[in-house]
Structure 1
Amino acid sequence: MGAENTASLRKASNYEMVLTSLCSGAIAGALAKSSIAPLDRTKINFQISSEVYTTKKAWRFLVQTFQKEGFIALWRGNSATMARIVPYAAIQFTAHEQWKRVLKIDYTMNSPAKQLLAGSLAGITSQSLTYPLDLARARMAVTPKDEYASLQQVFVKIYRNEGLITFYRGYVPTIIGVIPYAGVSFYTYDTLKRLYKENIHDTNKPGAFASLMFGAAAGICGQTSSYPLDIVRRRMQTDVCFRYKTILGTLDYIHRNEGLRGFYKGLSMNWIKGPIAVGISFATYDSIKEFLRVYIIGHSS
């Protein structure tokens, strides 16, 4: 569609914006998470153990998993990840647009505090609505295949053996962690897009490669800012011996037994997989959203 035709399109209604955001976010999240699922499983395995993380050991875990359980096992728990990430990403991206609308944030982003708040609120919204699926996915990623054969079995066993409240074990550190993570990620991505428009190329939509790079930078900044709490939530989510009952207790246990390094175990892997996943997620979301709004619905964003 030509530039003049695009310019003549009327603005999409809020209903259409929500619908296209939900679809775009769902596809973006599924694609991004599937691309780094083996690395994600490896990271979680080290996060929940006291074993010292090294790149060599991480590689060995991947190789041993492949040799003992087969290639598909590298994606073990990914069905639970998809069951969570599709609604999670859809809700997060949509909530971010809606929170920016509520907070009256325009493209100039003249209020960094509001921009950070919008990202944080989007993260809180999506995490709160999908948290039990995140816990189920973590359990599947770190247990033998015969313990939890399916996502349904995870929910049934946890409910029968540990009770309903277990589905929200680790929720508080997760929410505390998602505040800087989502806030910094969305703020970094939107800021880089604005700077690109103002200083490099005067266009409303950066190209796919630029979006990928901006998303990668957002992923690094967001995950580094919240990583220690990610360790805490994984320990609490996968704890079946009730060793990690509280946030402070978990922090104290990790510090006493593993030192400060324990809070950043697996972070170097996150610097590999995080930028890939977040970059793909942001770039895919923007591309699909633009396509749906302009070429399918026939409205401008």
Structure 2
Amino acid sequence: MTLNQTIQESLVPLTGKLSNTDIVVTSLCAGAIAGALAKTTIAPLDRTKINFQISEKPYSTKKALKFLIQTLKNHGFFALWRGNSATMARIVPYAAIQFTAHEQWKRLLNVDASGKSPGKQFLAGSLAGVTSQSLTYPLDLARARMAVTPKDQYATLRQVFLKIYRQEGLLTFYRGIIPTLLGVIPYAGVSFYTYETLKRQYKEHIGHLNIPQPITSLGFGAIAGMLGQTSSYPLDIVRRRMQTDMINKYPSISGTLKLIWFNEGLKNGLYKGLSMNWIKGPIAVGISFATYDNIRDTLRTVVLKYR
């Protein structure tokens, strides 16, 4: 048996002994926990990024720190996590669906674990992102609204949905979904592909079949997150502008791109806040991937033990 064949078999040491229902349930649980932990960790930075993304004010690290300090002084410590309840309401099902969908898409596409089908591996990640984003998009829009508006305007997640429905209509819940889906294709594809590739190469290089240590997985996830977010960042800007637009200033993807390009330029417009994303993104994705792998494998070991 060749090294690649041995590695291919070892990459799924537990799934071969579990039913697909066991695989789905453990993936859903691990993904939900991983997403919640990752997003809560970087919530203050996420809120800061969104506030700059939706405005025409130029971004800088100094101004981002000033925003964080002013929020802390004027509204208190927990204001840094404003909108996190909406984030949790979205990220728990989003992450659970995304990780589970990724495993299922890999199975359906017959992705070769030894790395011989990179196109399918990228496609599995992209389809996982599209699946989870499509099913949870209204929650993402609600979270963006809560992050950038005063507390008295949208005090609760329920208020967000009621006000948007009554004042702006049902279709508003899907405003910005096209740039979101266009952005998630390279983001999720690059992220999952990079992470899986780094894990496989790590195992080949060190010459044994144990899974990477959590700190190693964290590093691989950080690299994957940085590459994934950089590849899709302009569409993330467009998504946020359209989601928080209450006066129909940004009615289309092309119109939004043109407005940002002509009024704000490339660095201060389409890539505004990217440097912060290089901080928060790798942290979040690293925590998410590392947590998911470890909790998933722990749950599957428990299932096998007590079956």
TM-score (norm 2): 0.94
What one-letter code is carried by the residue in structure 2 that aligns with 1:116? F
What one-letter code is carried by the residue in structure 2 that aligns with 1:149? A
Distance 1:211 1:191 in 2: 12
Match of 1:217 among 216, 223, 237: 223
Judge conservation of contact 1:12–1:299 (CA < 8 Å) in 2: no
Distance 2:149 2:45 in 1: 16
Whether 1:265 aligns to 2:267 is: no
Match of 2:172 among 146, 161, 166: 166
Whether 1:37 aligns to 2:17 is: no
Alignment root-mean-square deviation, CA: 1.5
Matches for 1:271-290 after TM superposition, within 5 Å: 271-290=278-297
Residue aligned with 1:230, SS: helix
Residue aligned with 2:195, SS: helix
Distance 2:239 2:88 in 1: 19
In structure 2, what is the equivalent of residue 108 of structure 1? 114
Distance 2:82 2:21 in 1: 36
Distance 1:271 1:96 in 2: 24
* Percentage of identical aligned residues: 72
Q: CA deviation at 1:298?
A: 2.8
In structure 1, what is the equivalent of residue 8 of structure 2? none
Distance 1:127 1:229 in 2: 14
Q: CA deviation at 1:9?
A: 9.8
Match of 2:91 among 76, 85, 91: 85
Distance 1:106 1:19 in 2: 23
Q: Count the aligned residue pairs.
A: 294
Per-residue CA shift, 1:3-36, capped at 9, x if unaligned?
Answer: xxxx899611111000000000000000000000
In structure 2, what is the equivalent of residue 21 of structure 1? 27
Per-residue CA shift, 1:151-171, capped at 9, x if unaligned?
Answer: 000000000000000000000
Whether 1:189 aligns to 2:191 is: no
TM-score (norm 1): 0.95
What one-letter code is carried by the residue in structure 1 that aligns with 2:276? M
Whether 1:238 aligns to 2:244 is: yes
Q: CA deviation at 1:271?
A: 0.3
Q: Which runs of 5+ in 1 are unaligned?
A: 1-6
Whether 1:291 aligns to 2:304 is: no
Distance 1:186 1:104 in 2: 16
Q: Which moved more, 1:193-202 or 1:165-174?
A: 193-202
Judge conservation of contact 1:11–1:299 (CA < 8 Å) in 2: no
